[in-house]
Chains A and B, each alone.
Chain A
Amino acid sequence: MKPWWAVALCLPLSAMAGVVVNSQGQLEVEACAYGRGQVAIAGARDMAAAELAEFVRGAKVLEQVSGAEYLSEADREFYRSERQVLLQGLSAGAIPLSIGSPRIQGGETCVPVYMALEHASDGELVWDDESPTATVTVMGEGWPARGRSAMQNAEQDAFARAVSQVAGVWLNQQRSHSSMLAMSIQDERESNSLNEMVGQQLQSRTSGIISEWQLLASEPLSNNGVRVTIMAVVDKTPLAAGIQDLLSSVGSPRIALVADGRLKEEIGTWLTGQGIEVSDRAPLVLETRSELIPHGNNVSLHISLHLRDYTGNIYGRWENEPHLMTLPNKHGVESRLTQAHLSSEANLESLAAALQSAFERVVAQGGIMRQLRIPRDILSQPQQLQGLLNALAGVKGASVQLGDAEVVANMRYSGSSSDLASQVHHMLLAAATGPLPEIEIRDDYILFYR
């Protein structure tokens, strides 16, 4: 009597595999595929699955298979009644098959594949249950101010927190699941501050986003304040639309491009194609540099970009990988290398992501830096200017330098320069010594009075 594998070696592959029942009551079949490693294992598994399907499709009675004594009555009954389901499951790849340890046989790799009958019966499907709303419980604090009661302010604060919380979840989800936003903020602190910023920006629109809410508790605070706990139902659709509006406005600010020659041409064309307006003077500056690196008779090109504002804050940077392209050092090589690096899809994608992330960082930090220049004699109390500016809605981190003739204030503002100009003008009407001249805007970020 020759061993079974001696016989098997003489037979063609398709006839090699035989379905048996193993001691665990599973259907087992071994198949071999040419090659080594995962590719061969996957190939062998597919062949085994096909072999199993062939077996189930054939009218062979399970009891005749070797090892049938290991089958329970329930398994036999299941096999008799559910063969069609098994067959569909196998061909759709929905039935879990377990794989034994592979063994090498000549140039082929063989794997045993097992199908458990009882497991095949409970095909579990996990549905992603996506509710249109999200319910959150948040606390808010408020004090009587701006003509509203402490309770109203506390509720508004709670709504803003509820929106911010859901927006944060939504943004995180977008970051992990979607390339639509091409978000690439890695730093958790910045990510949180972006969430907070989005929450603040959406504050004025909470009424459309919070579909219903319920007061759970309230307690008094010192200075006539009140702390409330509410349960709010946040409608996801208007929230997502609001965030996207906000982010798309972030994604297309005006920038100034500092570059030379071919680089300026390539980057400028690309920026315009991305819907980013390029201007000679703008609050954000995209500075580019390129440098040829010699390697013997050949050269590569290092390109680096960074986005900064007029005060020197850098929001993001991008660098190419020079080693990916070296060319013989001949006339015009720099131009050819520039064109090569900026025609790579992956480079342009990473550049777009770096810029998007830089723009988001600008928003996360409170908006674009703006400068306000006021002749000192206009102001009655220049020392109070910082406090006044910081109290303006949307203004963050105002700092004031008092010069002899002029007061210069730098601040971040999340809206447009003209909005800021109008707010500042109204504020100064009350703080000025006399009648104010018209406020003017230069280069989209300098607000000044003549």
Chain B
Amino acid sequence: MNKLKSFSCSLLAIAVLAGCQSTKPASQTNKAKVSNRASSAIVAKSAYDFSDDDIRMPAYFDTQGLDLCTFEPGNEHPDCPLKKPIVRMYFDGAEVGGEGQGVNALRAYEDKDLLLMLENQFAGINRFRIVTQDDDLIAIENTIASAQQGAGYVIDQRRKQQVLKPDYLVKLDSLRTVKNEGSITGWMDYTLELTTAVLNPFTREKMSHPNLGKIRVKSEDVRDRSELKFVMASNRYVSGFRYFDSAHVNAVINDMASRGIDILLTRMLSEMPATTQVLGIKGNKLSLDRGQNAGVMPNETMIVFSYEAGFVEPLGVAHVMPSKNHATGEIVRWKDTDIADAIKAKAEAGIYRPGNGVKIFAVSVGTPADFLENRT
């Protein structure tokens, strides 16, 4: 019996040792293809379309309260979440080098108006305070205001309301390329690539955040291929798309840039989501401590979560509407968890106000579902 025992022990030991030796090499990475497909916009689902599994935490939420805020935009505490970086924006339409069919027209490209469009669109999402570069407009306004109010008055007002001093520069680098395909009947194929840099002009540091990646727009995203077709005979243009005419080419490039900026905006809204603190929950209704001033947009889809000792628990998904400095929302779906059930029960009995070290926040999921339709 003893022999049998020792034999079975040895077998066990061998099996354990064999088990140790049979480890495979770790597999933590996969090979992936580098895509050169056109980028697409990603927007939040409506809160009404969320399932229970969808109620998870999005990235980049911020649980900073408003305790330090002065609520004066010109004199906001550096740690207040309402303090937005002041930026000046640049659009760099890089030179197009080389020679070839349609290259000259692509080179003659005016990016000033695109910059102003960029400023307008970025100002609307309220993530930055933007110092405009529209100097011509300001100079014309100075002339008119001086004629109407007196030049001295204009200067004194300018002195009182100092021009904003940028903390950062936001620069869009663009790369424009063209190729043509076909022989007698050919078509132009334009590509625009946009990258964004946020940099500190004083230290020259390019900031890691927000990182909007690269956006690629192809002419086929904005024009049917048939619109860019042309006919050549004896190496001469006969009819079709006027690829050598900068006005026609600019029309295409502008549409592409405009699409690129829209995609950029949606990425910015995912990268810098709006976080607000929940002051109270009454039934399904939410009262939030900040609104438009923190960049909350109409029809925002927000994940409501509790925050305690560094841990977050998603409670539900809400449809939120902002007012100037606060927001109200409705929890469309509560997450099926005990914590959410407990809070839901308290909120049904009256107004539930978070306390005892528990804080409740709501963070936006990304670009509101109707943003692209209504704002771009």
Which A residues contact B (CB, under 8 angstroms)? Answer: 2-3, 5-6, 9, 35-38, 40, 104-107, 295-298, 321, 323-328, 336, 339-341, 343-347
CA distance A20 to B183 in the complex (A): 90
Q: Does A346 lie within 8 Å of B279, measured CB to CB?
A: no
Which residues 32-66 of B sit at the A interface, judged by CB distance below 8 A?
66
In B45-103, the 8 Å CB interface with A consists of: 66, 69-72
**When chains A and B are docked, how far (Å) is the Cα of A326 from the Cα of B158?**
11
Judging by beta carbons under 8 Å apart, are A104 and B136 in contact?
A: no
Closest to B72 in A: A37
Interface residues of B in 266-310 (CB under 8 A from A): 279, 287, 289, 293
CB-contacts of B141-185 with A (<8 A): 142-143, 146, 150-156, 158-159, 163
Query: Which single residue of chain A is at the shortest CB-CB distance from B66?
Result: A104
**Interface locus among B320-328, B332-340, B368-376:** B320-328
Chain B residues contacting A3 (CB-CB under 8 Å) are: 350-351
Q: Is the CB of A327 within 8 A of B143?
A: yes
Q: Nearest CB to that of B138 among chain A residues?
A: A326
Flag whether B1 is at the interface (Cβ < 8 A). no
Q: How far is the CA of A324 from the CA of B72 in the complex (A)?
A: 23
| A to B CB contacts below 8 Å, 9 in the list | A37-B72, A38-B71, A107-B325, A298-B135, A324-B158, A336-B146, A344-B153, A345-B156, A347-B155
Which 5 residue pairs of A and B lie closest in terms of their CB atoms, listed nearest first?
A: A37-B71, A340-B151, A343-B152, A36-B71, A344-B155
Query: Within the complex, which residue of B66, B146, B350 is in contact with A6, where a contact is CB–CB below 8 Å?
Result: B350
Contact (Cβ within 8 A) B158 A104: no
A325 and B158 in contact (CB under 8 A), knowing A104-B66, A104-B279, A340-B152?
Answer: yes
CA distance A314 to B5 in the complex (A): 109
Chain B residues near A40 (CB, 8 Å)? 71
Q: In the complex, A324 Cα to B135 Cα: how many Å?
A: 12
Closest to B76 in A: A37
Closest residue of chain A to B351, judged by CB?
Answer: A6
- CB <8 Å contact, B350 and A2: yes
For B133, give the chain A residue with the smallest CB separation.
A296
Does B342 lie at the interface of the complex (its beta carbon under 8 Å from any beta carbon of A)? no
Q: Is the CB of B151 within 8 A of A344?
A: yes
* B139 sits at the interface (CB 8 A): yes
Q: Which residues of A contact B26 (CB under 8 A)?
A: none
CA–CA, A40 and B324, complex, Å: 14
Chain A residue numbers with a CB within 8 Å of B20 are none
A107: which of B135, B326, B350 is its contact (CB, 8 Å)? Answer: B326
Q: Pick the most buried of B153, B155, B350: most chain A CB atoms within 10 A of its CB.
A: B155
Interchain CA distance A59-B101 in the complex, whole Å = 93
Query: In the complex where A5-B351, A104-B289, A326-B139 touch, is A336 in contact with B72 (Cβ < 8 A)?
Result: no
Q: Report B's interface with A, CB cutoff 8 A.
A: 66, 69-72, 135-136, 138-140, 142-143, 146, 150-156, 158-159, 163, 279, 287, 289, 293, 323-326, 328, 350-351
Given A327-B146, A340-B152, 5 other A-B residues pairs in contact with their CB atoms under 8 A: A325-B142, A328-B136, A341-B155, A343-B152, A346-B155
Assess whether B326 is in contact with A104, with CB atoms less than 8 Å apart: yes
* A6-B351, A326-B135 known; A36-B325 Cβ under 8 A: yes
List of A residues within 8 angstroms of B146 by Cβ: 325, 327, 336, 340
Q: Which residue of chain B lies nearest to A2 when distances are taken between CB atoms in the complex?
A: B350
- Chain B residues positioned under 8 Å from A38 (CB to CB): 70-72
Of chain A, the residue at the smallest CB distance from B158 is A324
A299 to chain B, nearest CB (A): 8
**Residues in B whose Cβ lies below 8 Å from that of A326:** 135, 138-139, 142
CA distance A345 to B139 in the complex (A): 21
Min distance, Cβ A143 to any Cβ of chain B, angstroms: 56
Nearest-Cβ distance from residue B186 to partner chain A, whole angstroms = 40
State which of A9, A36, A295, A328 has its C-beta within 8 Å of the C-beta of B69. Answer: A36
User: Do B326 and A324 have beta carbons less than 8 Å apart?
Assistant: no
Contact of A343 among B69, B151, B279, B326 (CB under 8 A): B151
Q: Contact between B325 and A344 (Cβ–Cβ < 8 Å)? A: no
Closest-by-CB residue of B relative to A329 is: B139
* Distance of B298 from chain A, by nearest CB (Å): 16
- B70 lies within 8 A of A324 (CB): no
A106 to B146, CA, bound (A): 42
Tell me whether A327 and B156 are in contact (CB under 8 A): no
B150 pairs with A343, CB closer than 8 A: yes
On whether the beta carbons of A105 and B279 are closer than 8 Å, the reply is yes
Q: Distance (Å) between the CB of A409 and the closest chain B CB?
A: 46
B287 to chain A, nearest CB (A): 5
User: Once the chains bind, are B143 and A323 in contact (CB under 8 Å)?
Assistant: no
Q: Indicate if the CB atoms of A106 and B326 lie closer than 8 Å.
A: yes
Query: Beyond A5-B351, A104-B289, is A346–B159 a contact (Cβ under 8 Å)?
Result: yes
The interface residues of chain A lying within 8 Å CB-to-CB of B159 are: 321, 324, 344, 346
Neighbour of B155 across the interface among A104, A295, A340, CB < 8 A:
A340
- A348 to chain B: closest residue by CB: B152
In the complex the two chains form, is A106's CB within 8 Å of B156's CB? no
Question: Quick check: A107 and B323 within 8 Å, CB to CB?
Answer: yes
Closest to A338 in B: B151
Alpha-carbon separation in the docked complex, A341 to B156 (Å): 9
Asked if B136 and A297 sit within 8 Å, CB to CB, the answer is yes
